[in-house]
Amino acid sequence: MKALIIGNVWPEPVSSAAGARILQLLEALKKQNFEIHFACAAGKTAYAENLEEQQVFTQEIQLNDTSFDTYIKELDPALVLFDKFVVEEQFGWRVKEQCPQAIRVLETIDLHGLRKGREAALKAREIFSEQFLDNDFAKREVASIYRCDLSLVISEIEMQLLQSYFKVPGQQIFYLPFMVEQVSDTTINSWKTYENRAHFVTIGNFRHEPNWLSVRQLKTEIWPLIKQQLPDAQMRVYGSYPAEKHTQLHNPKENFYVLGRAESAFEVIESARVLVAPLLTGAGLKGKLLEAMQCGTPAVTSTVGAEGMHGDLPFNGCITDDSNLFAQAAIELYVNKDKWQQAQSNGIEIINTRFLASSWQPQFAERLNELKLNLEHHRQANFTGSMLWHQSLQASKFMSKWIEEKNR
């Protein structure tokens, strides 16, 4: 069987958690004996993953062009996975027309409507509430969820939100968190010790607005408090695609370094003693926090940052939204070896309990197999999805056809 992933961008696992997530999904589908194809309309960057080396067939495609119809009809995939709802909006109707029996899966990566709602609340200087979920991104995203046969949701919090607030039926969504390898004793023994680590680190793609807001919060509110008590410590900020407003924060006199893209996120995180991520907005799971656990690096973050990460288990550090408490927690982890080691142990337990690929890959395979066996009945039960196909998406379809004619 063939599986096609239509990417929003070509995956860059070193640059973003979204890129790493796509590779996890590729691996999960390989375990189900799919022949994997990846298609994308965006241009490749120098940092894009070499998918061909991983036995993945790649294809550059065009927006608003019937050449995609020919491509997918000849490919005839059994499963098509859309990387974010904007990709489903663009290509979903074409997939449905050319390959009606293909299972259509949406990878949400995070709920964009939730993230945009939090950004709107922050801009309005108000506490986030459900009223901020009434935004265009949420409406488009939930519509896309209904149009697909299954949507992958990375956070338990977002599963609850979709079912309790948006009233999405449980059969339309599937909780699938990060899927990584177990933290073994061999891995633990290879980590740098507390004494062999120094400084603070944060990391995140600067094109992602929550990361930029987090760095700005660090620079203006938190780092001055840490520097008062730890004058020799450095704040090292890594992130792909920094713009001028980001690099302007670089100030060696204040031991605040904006260092751009890291060649290896794991290397820079493991070299640091503490990771800090005072995220003010965002959604989904935070790749930087998972990577910190994989590197044995304790972390301090906000409630938004920790959301969906640790469940009922103790966090691998501290969670607070108060800048003063945040700075003090970071300092305490930095100087207190016992607390540092306990936080490290917490991170190991979180990964090995909640995020093992060996646990989630079979569950994902089982859900897809259920869909394959009951696809017609599943679609009949999704009347809202049928209604959306009949009405709202026609506008996108004919706009695309109009653009295609205009370009011709």
Contacts (Cβ under 8 Å, ≥6 apart) of 276: 200, 201, 202, 218, 222, 235, 299, 300, 301, 326, 330
pLDDT at 325 exceeding the cut of 60: yes
Is the pLDDT score of 161 beyond 80?
yes
- How are beta strands 35-40 and 57-60 bridged, if at all? parallel
CB-CB neighbours of 111 under 10 Å: 27
pLDDT at 392 over 60: no
pLDDT at 222: 97
CA 215 to chain centre: 18
Task: Give residue limits of the domains in the chain.
Answer: 2-179+357-407, 185-354
Instruction: Give Cα 148 distance to the centre of its chain.
Output: 19
Rounded to whole angstroms, how far apart are CA atoms 182 and 361?
13
- As a whole number, the mean pLDDT across the chain is 94
Average pLDDT over residues 239-267: 91
Distance CA 123, CA 125 (A): 5
Give the residues across from 152 on adjacent strands.
107, 174
pLDDT, residue 242, reads 86
Given the candidates 3.20.20.70, 3.40.50.2000, 3.40.50.10740, 1.10.490.10, the CATH classification of the domain at 185-354 is 3.40.50.2000
* C-beta of residue 354 within 8 angstroms of C-beta of residue 289: no
Residue pair 52/46 in contact (Cβ under 8 Å)? The answer is: no
Q: How confident is the model at residue 122 (pLDDT cuts 50, 70, 90)?
A: very high
Q: Is the pLDDT of residue 282 over 60?
A: yes
At 394, the pLDDT band (50, 70, 90 cuts) reads low
* CA–CA dist 292, 300 (Å, integer): 10
Please indicate whether residue 403 or residue 334 has the higher confidence score (pLDDT).
Answer: 334
In CATH terms, the fold of domain 2-179+357-407 is Rossmann fold (3.40.50)
Maximum average pLDDT range among 1-15, 301-315, 385-399: 301-315
Residue 396 confidence (pLDDT) above 70? no
E-strand ranges in 47-160 read: 57-60, 79-83, 103-107, 150-153
What is d(CA 351, CA 371) in angstroms, rounded to the nearest whole number?
29
The single-letter DSSP state of residue 43 is P
Q: What is the mean pLDDT of residues 100-117?
A: 96
Work out the average pLDDT over 164-173: 96
Q: Say which residue, 45 or 323, is predicted with more confidence.
A: 323
What pLDDT score does 18 carry? Answer: 86
Give 3-state DSSP helix, strand, coil % of the chain, rounded to 5. 50, 15, 35
Prediction pTM value: 0.92
Q: Tokens for 8?
A: 């929003």
- H/E stretch holding 260 reads strand 256-260
Q: CA-CA distance, 172 to 279, in Å (whole number)?
A: 30
Q: What pLDDT is stored for residue 47 in this prediction? A: 85
Confidence of residue 5 (pLDDT cuts 50, 70, 90): very high
* pLDDT recorded at residue 207: 85
Q: Encode burial over 81-109: b for 16+ CB neighbours within 10 A, e otherwise.
A: bbbbbebbbbbbbbbbebbeebbbbbbbb
> 6 pLDDT exceeds 70?
yes
- Confidence (pLDDT) at 69: 96
pLDDT of residue 357: 97
pLDDT over threshold 80, residue 75? yes
Query: In this structure, are residues 201 and 272 in contact, taking their beta carbons and an 8 Å threshold?
Result: yes
Structure confidence at residue 393 (pLDDT): 59
- The interaxial angle of helices 383-390 and 392-407, nearest 10 deg, is 40
Q: How many CB atoms lie within 10 A of CB 124?
A: 10
The average pLDDT across 272-297 equals: 96
- Does residue 274 contact residue 297 with C-beta atoms inside 8 Å? yes
pLDDT for the residue numbered 395: 66
Fold: same for 2-179+357-407 and 185-354: yes
Strands (E), 119-233: 150-153, 173-175, 200-203
Q: Tokens in use for 152?
A: 């992958």
Confidence band (pLDDT; 50, 70, 90) for 95?
very high
Query: What DSSP state is assigned to residue 124?
Result: T
Residue 14: per-residue pLDDT = 80
Residue 290 reports pLDDT greater than 70:
yes
Angle between helices 136-147 and 383-390 (to 10 degrees): 110
